[in-house]
Chain A
Amino acid sequence: SQKIEQNSEALNIQEGKTATLTCNYTNYSPAYLQWYRQDPGRGPVFSLLIRENEKEKRKERLKVTFDTTLKQSLFHITASQPADSATYLCALVMDSNYQLIWGAGTKLIIKP
């Protein structure tokens, strides 16, 4: 069966450390993968995109990797801050119809 998995348990990280969030998928061949941030009571907000032919993408303190062999994407936040606390969602984008298939998200808590 097809599925996309993110760690359902909250991730607790000490301020200043690097937070790493994982998105695993099976039986999909996405054209690219997106990461969104969602704050409580708010809609998701786009963060980063990485294509199937890219290994790594960076934006400021954020880094995304994409391993199509492992079928895994990692989302890193370096020098984490309490303001980074949120739920992070990954979404696969299929080349065939550009529909997004979403993970359930991982809650990240950055402790001062």
Chain B
Amino acid sequence: DAEITQSPRHKITETGRQVTLACHQTWNHNNMFWYRQDLGHGLRLIHYSYGVHDTNKGEVSDGYSVSRSNTEDLPLTLESAASSQTSVYFCASSEVGANTGELFFGEGSRLTVL
């Protein structure tokens, strides 16, 4: 079965360190997204990609970067982790032109920045 996997599921790091969260999907979807989820907030879009070598900033992109070198992967990098980036991060994908626009989510990566 097709799926979307995130790693690591849990990570603790220190302020100032670089962190990369991996996202790998086998749906063969062109669209991929990174969100963060914090208590009391809806999912907030960090970055998204509509295809290989395409990346776009979302509403909360400061301090984060992504790159898309193939269809399957969209790693999220925190250049210099800050305590405000403690959150649960979700990767999602969707099919281009899908009638429903349904997103398929990974299980999340919980990041703690000390």
A21 vs B39: C-alpha distance when bound (angstroms): 19
- The answer to whether A104 and B100 have CB atoms under 8 Å apart is no
The yes or no answer to A102 lying at the interface (CB within 8 A) is yes
Taking the nearest CB of chain B, how far is it from the CB of A47, in angstroms? Answer: 10
Within 8 A of A (CB), among B70-114: 90, 92, 100-108
Q: Which of A12-20, A61-69, A71-79, A92-100 contacts B (4 or more CB under 8 A)?
A: A92-100
A-B contact count (CB 8 A): 50
CB-defined A-B contacts under 8 Å, sample of 18: A8-B40, A32-B101, A41-B108, A43-B90, A43-B107, A43-B108, A44-B90, A44-B103, A44-B105, A46-B100, A46-B102, A46-B104, A89-B43, A91-B42, A91-B43, A102-B35, A102-B44, A104-B41
- The answer to whether A93 and B101 have CB atoms under 8 Å apart is yes
A contact patch SS:
strand
The yes or no answer to A49 lying at the interface (CB within 8 A) is yes
What is the size category of the interface that chain A forms with chain B?
A: 20 to 34
- The answer to whether B107 and A42 have CB atoms under 8 Å apart is yes
Q: Which of A32, A42, A43, A104 contacts B42 (CB 8 A)?
A: A104
Residues of A within 8 Å of B92, CB to CB, are 43
The yes or no answer to B45 lying at the interface (CB within 8 A) is yes
What is the size category of the interface that chain B forms with chain A?
A: 10 to 19
A4 vs B45: C-alpha distance when bound (angstroms): 15
Q: Which of B103, B107, B108 contacts A46 (CB 8 A)?
A: B103
A95 vs B100: C-alpha distance when bound (angstroms): 12
Closest 8 pairs (CB-CB, A-B): A43-B105, A102-B42, A102-B43, A46-B102, A104-B42, A49-B100, A103-B42, A44-B105
Within 8 A of A (CB), among B35-59: 35, 40-45
The yes or no answer to A80 lying at the interface (CB within 8 A) is no
Residues of B within 8 Å of A100, CB to CB, are 43, 45, 101, 103
